Chains A and B, each alone.
Chain A
Amino acid sequence: MERIYLDANATTPLAPAALAAMMPYFSEHFGNPSSQHAFGSAPAKALRRARGQVAALLGAAREDEILFTSGGTEANATAIRAALAADPNRREIITSTVEHPAVLACVDALERDEGVIVHRIGVDAEGRLDLDAYRAALSEDVALVTLMWANNESGTIFPIEGLAEWAHEVGALFHTDAVQAAGKLPLDLAAAGVDMASVSAHKIHGPKGVGALYIRHGTRFAPLIWGGKQERGRRAGTENIPGIVGFGAAAEMADPAGAAQLAALRDHLETEITKAVPKVRVLGDRRDRLPNTSLMAFEFVEAEAVLMMLDRAGIAASSGSACSSGMIEPSHVLRAMDVPFTAAHGAIRISLTRETTRAQIDRVIAELPPVVARLREMSPFWTQVVEQGEAVS
């Protein structure tokens, strides 16, 4: 049975070419790029090359605007801490209710432990930012606005350029978590006006454990990790050279224009599934979302059960739910979007990789509807719906 991987927003398979590029840096080119002797020169050169490759993917104006980190989470934490440290007079942060936990848990901790005031801007049913609330929260006390470029669950895209412009009007720094956007959308950070942006290698067919923070030249900055002079003193610690090399290779191979083609496959999937399955909602902003992402909520079934059955059929997808403290709850994103509780528990995220084929999507179209039907047959609520001919309230 061919296993079909449709969870690209969680992680992507490492590109063979990226792996090949990495291999020598585990062995013959083991040197420390900071060394003065010959062993350091190949790693130092590789580091420079990777920096250029990542800068090109993001549309950075200068290579030294790229700071390598251990991943998207560290990049986010660095940006948030740096913005607060840069101007001690500004003690407020604006973010949204649908950010990744890497941002939300970080600002929660700052609010709890350091008295930082956090404004969490809500979204509408399609996951679009409440622009009025955002404008109202902006003031000269705001150190940082951190808003994701594209949402990992719904795929909804925020209008980052405009949001950054508003932030700058009050002198706040603007950071975006671009982990999901990179490689899937054409990014031009030099033109976008953002001050900082986080990206992660393993979401673009690079290795895990490496990411980057883009910091616009001239942006006020303070390091998160102190120590040696690596990364121009902005991130201490000997560089993860194999990982960075793999990241660079993956960045060079990324094809945001090609990723746009995935939208046709994704739309085909949604069209056929909504035809075959009653009471399903397509979530997210259908006019402006990631081309590879589909979030569909099947009413009166629970997502984990759907995923288990899909997994047995060889199809790997994800849910908009997380298990914590004993039961399964809809994710903070679904709750923020105010998805009705009859549907929130049945939200399935299918995120395509650039390797996804039409044949694979057709297999999902064949396998998914019977799974939902089978679970609904077991569900007392579905029986009620069928009996009453309408949704239970």
Chain B
Amino acid sequence: MTALSINLGAVLALVRRDAKIFISYRFRFATQLVSTFFGLVLFYYLSRIVGHNVFHTSNEYFAFAVIGLTVMEVLGATLAALPLSLRQELVAGTFERLVLSPFGAIGAVASMMVFPFLLSAVSALITLTLATLVFGMNLAWSTAAYAIPVALLGAAAFAPFSLLIAASVLSVKQAGAGAGFFVTGISLIGGFFFPVSLLPSWIRWASDVQPFTPALQLLRHLLVGTPATSSAWLTVAKLAGFAVVLVPASLVVLHRAIRFAQRRGTIIEY
């Protein structure tokens, strides 16, 4: 038995734990689906009143917003869910057990992102299905399959932000609230619900220095045929670059945050 498979077993244990806790609340997923449906209804009717100077048709804006909504769900799950569950672990005293496990706190914190991501991926799939079947959104079937590797790459590029927020939760405890602001801020500058070209010029640069906007634009291109603003390969390279640089950097920061909390003795505080 290789060390890799034993470690993978530990990752799966954390995923299974999160899944079991999630399933133990019977109506949680159903209520999530209902709120997704309401989100679709909202944007469907909003799209009917959108002027046609930026989008050619109402359906074009609806498709634009649906992809924004879908990626927003994934972002919310990967960025906001981890700090929240980490804080719950601190309060319940279960984080202490993770720190003292041979698998370790860093592996555990990173693994805690997996289930929320998988859940949000399922939710995103349902959102796209509903948007296509119920609201008549035109999916670009010929390129839609390419969205899967791009979404995975995007998740790898988003993950470090989540790890950094988790590190700040361990250092200053209440930082989880910052995740909400971060997601809202990103949704404004990232072009989730309106094109970044509508932003004032002084803030437009912010759309170019993070991975969310390029991931979103490429996913829109692949899923609903929105014209690409730059080469797909360039976007893929950009996302890969973010992941390659930021994942190790964020793991180092997380490691230091844990060591800092252990030295100060605050790792047991909440």
- A interacts with B: no
Measured CB to CB, the residues of A under 8 A from B are none
Measured CB to CB, the residues of B under 8 A from A are none
